[in-house]
Amino acid sequence: MAAVLCLVLLALALLASVMFGSKPTSLGDVLRVITGDGDSYTRTVVESRYPRTALGVLAGLCLGVAGTLMQGITRNPLAEPGLLGINAGASASIVAATAFLGASGQQQTIWWALVGALATGVVVHVVGTAGGGGGPVRLVLAGAVLSAVLAAFIQAVALSDPRVFDTYRYWVVGALGGRGFDAFWAVAPFAAAGLLLALLLAPGLNAMAMGDDKAASLGISPARVKGAGLLAATLLAAAATAAVGPIAFVGLAVPHVVRALVGADFRAQILFTALAGPALLLFADVIGRVLLRPQELMVGVVTAFVGAPALLFAVRRMRGAA
């Protein structure tokens, strides 16, 4: 039942994403374009929505699965990809490349964001697990400290150079529009590698849910599972952030919804968040396009409004279980 629900929601989200925009198109128009008919103008309008739809699927999948991994590794129901400092690392990399290396254009921005996000994830992992000690709390603290340092750097550089600020301001909100398939293909290999690694780690995460000692007695190395899980989460979050900018709350809200539907099995959680994440992000993007038509509200703003109630709900559930 949960599988049917997620598949139906994703199908509806995909259809809505190519139907709605600054110019509304009917279902019949969309179906005629898909089947190769329709006038040239309608075809141009509908086909122009394909890249943002593909990016919505990729980013939603990446953020949802990364959030599931983070919550499983840290055993913190409020964990999400931002804990690794991914957003701050990508932002700092873009600001530094624009200010000191003269980087410009969407393609260069994507690659610099990807490099910064991956580098930050690695640094947080190394610092959070240095000396073989440290648990989830140490990892979260490492991410928080590095994010704070990078945020100070971003503000200092961006506010002193209008050109850098304009580039940073456009990217930091998080949006699916204004990007082509080149952005999708640039990060798709990293997303695929992260998703494959996440699926391979699901049995280990199930064992770790019973405790590190129990997992070790079953032949699972908790340290290896945590390290590989952080690598997978970093790859996924970095790919999403580099492609569409930092988008909040998807990695937090989607795992909670999926867990309520399918239970604690990480194999099911990862598969279902890979369906529910894109559906949520695409619906949020459609809402942003329709609310202020013909203007557009960026999807990062919409997910913040949608995700805030999800965060409050999660906190209330935690308080009730305490």
For range 90-111, the mean pLDDT: 84
d(CA 84, CA 304) in angstroms, rounded, equals: 19
> pTM for the complete prediction?
0.90
Tokens of 188: 């798709």
**Strand (E) or helix (H) holding 168:** helix 162-172
Where do the domains of the chain lie?
Answer: 56-73+81-316
Topology annotation, domain 56-73+81-316: ABC transporter involved in vitamin B12 uptake, BtuC (1.10.3470)
Tokens of 148: 């704070």
pLDDT tens-place string over residues 208-219: 888 888 888 888
pLDDT tens-place string over residues 5-32: 889 999 999 999 999 987 778 888 888 8
Q: Please spell the DSSP secondary structure of 89-100, one letter per residue.
A: HHHHHHHHHHHH
Span between the terminal Cα atoms of the chain, in Å: 31
- C-alpha to C-alpha distances, 122 to 40, 130, 255, nearest whole angstrom: 48, 12, 23
User: What is the pLDDT confidence band of residue 321, given thresholds at 50, 70 and 90?
Assistant: low
pLDDT at 10: 94
pLDDT at 221: 87
Q: Which backbone phi and psi does 294 adopt, to 5 degrees?
A: -85, 0
Tokens of 214: 């129990």
Q: What is the largest CA-CA distance in the chain?
A: 65
